[in-house]
């Protein structure tokens, strides 16, 4: 019996972590803008409105929880308007109100993918051509040679940040014709394999979890073009080493290894799978908050978007207030919550089991909280 198996029993403590998440999620909705806030404290920041990434993450969570069909039509329509209103008509890019967003190429590239996918989930589409089709792609996309020069220029002393920049270029490659696209993807894949650590299977520098996080970011590029990641056995060994010996103080340090394992599909001993599931649950439980959500970091929820992306040596308390999404309290945040829910799904997938659906009480709590937020 599945319910009597050691693997199934190892997953049950994880279920208890998500009891109040649906109502927390619905409570982040902002009827005025049509988007979702990053955290409870976000609405208290002067001039702060929901951002693209948090809203897209909320929508992804709603879909993952199989609640999208139950969301009122008016809320869906407001979501469509939210994303469409963020698109610049001439360039095709999607921008938040924060003027500093345009200066971060990673955030700009991510906003394209988030907005495009969100509109697809809602049965809608961007109002204007995307950058790749509007001849608004970055200058490095002029030729495979200029693309390679750009790839080689990326600093990898912080693997997480550097590999994120490398990987995000895939959004521009996706809109190229098949023949042209192959020249670019071949250029990138040859470069990636050349700089991969042959002993660990990881990329770049930093702590083991930082290198695994960078490798996770790079896997997005490989997965986007359905290409296997080289030295996968070495990567698996590195992941086990991190889970056994390093402290996961960030939700990303919990999600990234699990997501990589889901992609790599390594051959695992039952004892290794049990260890991975139990360790992951224990790590997640440390980030669960009293409001029903999860924090990105152990001590609190970071106030700035993608804090891990900040250059080494920077400190987000010294960053301009304009980039802050919340007050940085001990509270749930959208980034951590969407990762936690994804971790749950991936753990069941690794175990060869189907994640259970929400019970009726949780579904009712979600709809009630959404109705309250919409009023």
Nearest CA to 241 out of 190, 275, 193 is that of: 275
pLDDT digits (tens, 9 = 90+) for 201-246: 999 999 999 999 999 999 999 999 999 999 999 999 999 999 999 9
Predicted local confidence at residue 30, as pLDDT: 96
Mean pLDDT of 138-158: 95
pLDDT digits (tens, 9 = 90+) for 307-325: 434 443 444 444 444 467 8
Domain boundaries, the chain: 2-374
Question: CA dist 100 to 77, 87, 91, 107, 108, Å?
Answer: 28, 16, 17, 10, 10
- Strand duo 29-30 + 35-36: pairing: antiparallel
* E strands in the chain: 29-30, 35-36
- Are 197 and 235 in contact by the 8 Å Cβ rule? The answer is no
Predicted local confidence at residue 321, as pLDDT: 47
Cα distance between residue 279 and residue 274, in whole Å: 8
Cα distance between residue 62 and residue 337, in whole Å: 11
Hey, what are 57's tokens? 């993450």
Task: Give the torsion sign (CA, 155, 228, 235, 294).
Answer: positive
Class of domain 2-374: mainly alpha
Asked whether residue 192 carries a pLDDT value surpassing 80, the answer given is: yes
Q: How confident is the model at residue 134 (pLDDT cuts 50, 70, 90)?
A: very low
Cα distance between residue 8 and residue 92, in whole Å: 46
pLDDT digits (tens, 9 = 90+) for 234-259: 999 999 999 999 999 999 999 999 99
Q: How confident is the model at residue 4 (pLDDT cuts 50, 70, 90)?
A: low
> Model's pTM, two decimal places?
0.89
Nearest CA to 194 out of 230, 225, 237, 144 is that of: 230
């Amino acid at each position: 019996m599945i319910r009597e198996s050691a693997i199934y029993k190892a997953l049950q403590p994880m279920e208890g972590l998500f009891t109040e998440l649906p109502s927390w999620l619905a409570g982040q909705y902002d009827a005025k803008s049509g988007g979702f806030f990053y955290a409870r404290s976000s609405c208290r920041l002067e001039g702060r409105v929901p951002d693209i990434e948090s809203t897209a993450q909320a929508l992804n969570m709603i879909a993952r929880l199989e609640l999208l069909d139950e969301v009122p039509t008016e809320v869906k329509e407001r979501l469509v308007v939210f994303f469409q209103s963020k698109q610049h008509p001439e360039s095709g890019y999607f921008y938040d109100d924060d003027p500093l967003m345009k200066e971060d190429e990673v955030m700009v590239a991510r906003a394209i993918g988030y907005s495009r996918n969100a509109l697809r989930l809602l049965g809608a589409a961007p109002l204007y051509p995307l950058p790749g089709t509007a001849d608004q792609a970055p200058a490095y996309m002029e030729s495979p040679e200029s693309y390679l020069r750009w790839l080689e220029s990326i600093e990898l002393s912080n693997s997480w940040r550097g590999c994120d920049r490398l990987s995000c270029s895939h959004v521009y490659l996706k809109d190229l014709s098949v023949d042209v696209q192959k020249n670019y993807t071949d250029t990138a894949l040859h470069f990636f394999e050349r700089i991969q650590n042959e002993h660990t299977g990881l990329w770049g520098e930093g702590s083991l979890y930082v290198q695994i996080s960078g490798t996770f970011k790079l896997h997005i590029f490989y997965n986007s073009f359905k290409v296997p990641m080289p030295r996968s056995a070495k990567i698996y060994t590195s992941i086990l080493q991190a889970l056994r010996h390093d402290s996961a103080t960030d939700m990303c340090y919990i999600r990234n290894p699990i997501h990589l394992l889901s992609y790599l599909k390594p051959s695992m001993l039952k004892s290794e799978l049990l260890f991975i599931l139990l360790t992951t649950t224990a790590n997640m439980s440390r980030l669960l908050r009293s409001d029903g959500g999860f924090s990105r970091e152990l001590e609190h929820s970071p106030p700035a978007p993608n804090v891990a992306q900040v250059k080494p040596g920077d400190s987000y308390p010294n960053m301009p207030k304009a980039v802050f999404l919340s007050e940085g309290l001990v509270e749930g945040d959208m980034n951590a919550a969407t990762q936690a829910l994804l971790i749950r799904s991936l753990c069941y997938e690794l175990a060869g089991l189907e994640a259970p659906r929400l019970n009726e009480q949780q579904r009712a709590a979600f709809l009630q909280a959404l109705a309250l937020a919409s009023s």
